[in-house]
């Protein structure tokens, strides 16, 4: 066996081996498996974006290495959108950097700020790249629990006591996997936390446009002073059904943006320019695409919600993202409940513990599958009844 570097062995084990194996087995048996495990929009990228991409694809000036900091025309569109949407002023020359999907930037950022053994504050449960990027840089993830009784927001007072010497704080609202949202007053506290502790804040706003019931989610950069202490990651993946294209960006603090650009200039050569031009088209959208998508997710949310409630499952309707973060009965393990859903009803959900220890006690359903399939999934959930009808939780 060829020995791998320690950093690889330090990555957490892949938790879904058993579920994946069972899923493959069921498919082989001819079972009709419904996969609500992965958060990847099922609807296609809108036509007006495809058109722009095809045009850009035929332009040979896009066939060479992209410019170092990304196309100025894209950065200008991002700045324009931040101003219109959040009232945030960004300098396209220094405060915005396109990424090969926001995951790429998130995973590379610790290389710029974390020395071996350094601590990084990471929400638990969370989107995995905050943790794995930290580990690959030799850092030590410190779990910041997100608890239901605090609406899945971190206790910043408590956190301030652990913050000394930490190199970064990751946050993500609207949140994957809990679907929690944040308001401006929370972001004000975050900025105060950053100013007081000196820990740079990295906020991931990938779901800021996927909100329901009229909610408008703020950007962390809206708080005066935010740019001095942090950055925001964002992406077209979720709002424009572009997960396969790999286009996102980081914006905010210009030193941090520069540091990440320096790491990246030594690793990749940026986003294919035709895809950057597709991104430009997305920013010029009238808003009708998002409106349509939100209606679709709302329908799916309501279908699931109705069925879960009918079986006595204590869920609240999600206000953002396309994830249903569903509590399981006390004393049961999320992996075990996910395995039961799969075995008995051929339904894939993600065990909460896969997002961190504080995710135990929950499973996550993703609504990113066709509405007809959500309907069928809801029927199966009603049949299984994970929660006893009269429960004590």
* Interacting residue ranges for ligand PLP, rule: CB under 6 A: 39, 101-103, 127, 172, 176, 204, 206, 235, 237-238, 243, 248
Cβ pair 212, 316 in contact under 8 A: no
Nearest approach, Cβ of residue 6 and ligand PLP (Å) = 26
Residue nearest ligand PLP, Cβ-based = 101
Nearest approach, Cβ of residue 175 and ligand PLP (Å) = 8
Cβ pair 125, 178 in contact under 8 A: yes
CA-CA-CA-CA dihedral for 215, 219, 220, 226, to nearest 10: -140
Nearest approach, Cβ of residue 97 and ligand PLP (Å) = 13
**Positive or negative torsion for Cα 240, 78, 301, 173:** positive
Strand partners, 99: 248
Distance CA 226, CA 191 (A): 6
In angstroms, what is the C-alpha Rg of the chain?
A: 21
The residue to which tokens 């493959």 are assigned: 24
Which lies closer to ligand PLP via its Cβ, residue 130 or residue 186?
130
Nearest approach, Cβ of residue 101 and ligand PLP (Å) = 3
Nearest approach, Cβ of residue 61 and ligand PLP (Å) = 25
Nearest approach, Cβ of residue 285 and ligand PLP (Å) = 17
Which lies closer to ligand PLP via its Cβ, residue 139 or residue 248?
248
Which lies closer to ligand PLP via its Cβ, residue 95 or residue 204?
204
Nearest to 234 by CA among 302, 194, 180, 174: 174
Which lies closer to ligand PLP via its Cβ, residue 88 or residue 99?
99
Nearest approach, Cβ of residue 244 and ligand PLP (Å) = 9
Give the DSSP letter string of 47-91: HHHHHHHHHHHH-GGGSSPPPTT--HHHHHHHHHHHHHHH-----
Distance CA 226, CA 218 (A): 13
Which lies closer to ligand PLP via its Cβ, residue 241 or residue 253?
241
φ, ψ at 384 (rounded to 5°) = -80, -40
Which lies closer to ligand PLP via its Cβ, residue 100 or residue 277?
100
Which lies closer to ligand PLP via its Cβ, residue 176 or residue 197?
176
The residue to which tokens 């794995």 are assigned: 132
């Amino acid at each position: 066996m060829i020995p791998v570097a320690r950093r690889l062995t330090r990555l957490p084990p892949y938790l879904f081996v058993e579920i994946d194996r069972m899923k493959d087995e069921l498919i082989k048996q001819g079972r009709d498996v419904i996969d609500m495990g992965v958060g990847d929009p099922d609807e296609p990228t809108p036509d007006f974006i495809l058109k722009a991409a095809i045009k850009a694809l035929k332009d040979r000036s896009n066939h060479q290495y992209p410019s170092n900091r990304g196309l100025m025309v894209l950065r200008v569109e991002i700045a324009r959108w931040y101003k219109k949407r959040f009232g945030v002023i960004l300098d396209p020359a220094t405060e915005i950097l396109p990424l090969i999907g926001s995951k790429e930037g998130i995973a590379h950022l610790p290389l710029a700020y974390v020395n071996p053994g350094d601590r990084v504050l990471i929400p638990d449960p969370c989107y995995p790249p905050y943790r794995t990027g930290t580990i690959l840089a030799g850092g030590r993830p410190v779990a910041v629990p997100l608890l239901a009784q605090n609406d899945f927001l971190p206790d910043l007072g408590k956190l301030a006591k652990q913050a000394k010497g930490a190199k970064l704080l990751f946050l993500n609202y609207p949140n994957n996997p809990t679907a929690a949202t944040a308001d401006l007053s929370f972001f004000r506290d975050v900025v105060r936390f950053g100013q007081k502790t000196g820990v740079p804040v990295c906020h991931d706003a990938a779901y800021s446009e996927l909100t329901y019931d009229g909610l408008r989610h703020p950007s962390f950069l809206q708080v005066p002073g935010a740019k001095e202490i942090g950055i925001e990651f964002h992406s077209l993946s979720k709002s424009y059904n572009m997960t396969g294209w790999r286009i996102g960006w980081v914006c905010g603090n210009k030193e941090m943006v520069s540091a990440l650009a320096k790491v990246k200039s030594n690793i990749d050569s940026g986003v294919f320019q035709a895809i950057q031009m597709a991104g430009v088209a997305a920013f010029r959208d009238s808003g009708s695409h998002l409106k349509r998508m939100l209606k679709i997710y709302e329908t799916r949310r309501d279908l699931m919600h109705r069925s879960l409630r009918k079986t006595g499952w204590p869920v609240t309707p999600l206000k953002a993202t396309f994830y249903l973060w569903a509590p399981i009965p006390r004393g049961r393990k999320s992996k075990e409940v996910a395995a039961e859903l799969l075995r008995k009803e051929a339904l894939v959900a993600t065990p909460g513990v896969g997002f961190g220890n504080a995710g135990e006690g929950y499973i996550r359903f993703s609504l990113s599958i066709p509405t007809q399939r959500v309907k069928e999934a809801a029927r199966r959930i009603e049949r299984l009844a994970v929660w006893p009808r009269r429960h004590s939780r």
